[in-house]
């Protein structure tokens, strides 16, 4: 495995650990994408197009989550304030 792919596999593994520690349910789909990307990157001859697509999807999903999470947190705070949660 090339050094570049090894670094990618390590980064994906670290991301999976972070997701498991902090965002178990909320990040389930992103975690599945990272697992698929790590599995593809670990292959002797990974499909570069598939790997690129998985990483792009993960990037978009993470971006969406980072944009929406503060809004979701605010909605939860307001709901708790009014006793809805």
Give residue-wise pLDDT tens across range 8-67: 888 888 888 877 777 656 678 888 888 999 999 999 999 999 999 999 998 888 888 778
The yes-or-no verdict on residue 85 having pLDDT over 60 is no
Outline where the chain has alpha helix (H): 3-22, 28-42, 48-81
Residue 82 and residue 2: Cα distance in Å, rounded? 55
pLDDT of residue 59: 87
Judge if pTM exceeds 0.85: no
CA-to-CA dists, residue 36 to 64, 78, 80, angstroms: 19, 37, 37
Residue 6 and residue 65: Cα distance in Å, rounded? 27
Residue bearing tokens 């993960």: 58
pLDDT of residue 30: 84
Within 10 A of 6 (CB to CB), how many other CB atoms are there? 12
């Amino acid at each position: 495995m090339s050094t570049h792919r090894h670094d990618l596999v390590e980064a994906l593994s670290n991301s999976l650990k972070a997701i498991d520690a902090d965002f178990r349910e909320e990040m389930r789909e992103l975690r599945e994408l990272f697992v698929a990307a790590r599995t593809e990157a670990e292959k002797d001859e990974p499909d570069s197009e598939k790997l690129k697509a998985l990483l792009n999807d993960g990037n978009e999903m993470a971006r969406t989550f980072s944009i929406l999470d503060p809004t979701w947190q605010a909605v939860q705070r307001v709901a708790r304030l009014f006793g809805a949660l």
